[in-house]
Amino acid sequence: MPMQKKDRGRLDNRIDLLERTEDGFCPRLLHPTTKRCKHIMHLVVRGQVTFSLMLCRGPATMNNEFTFLFGATERDRKYNPQDAPERADRNRDDLISNPNRRCKHERFSKDPETII
């Protein structure tokens, strides 16, 4: 989905805050998703469109890394797509079975048509 320049800045700011936290402790940044997906948290980026980035601790090093699993939008506190936490949970399971699919975080490009 295309992101506006301000929204990309907010997203990068949230990711920077997440990187600077000690031992991954950041209670005000991350929120649980559902009880069915207990390992999945979301990072909310409010802007013209509210983005919810689904992530988890680890799965390789639980104390000092996070893994982005799925991106969704939010409206009226409902995810679009509605099964975003479940998709993120499936992606987590896939990463556990195939660790070579992981990569380091890269900054989004300056192009307003950046896809997340």
For the chain, give every domain's residue range. Answer: 5-100
Instruction: Give the pLDDT confidence of 70-94 residue by residue, as tens digits.
Output: 989 988 888 899 999 999 999 999 9
pLDDT computed for residue 29 by the predictor: 76
pLDDT computed for residue 87 by the predictor: 93
**Alpha-carbon gap, residue 52 to 33, rounded angstroms:** 10
Nearest to 52 by CA among 35, 61, 40, 63: 40
pLDDT computed for residue 1 by the predictor: 56
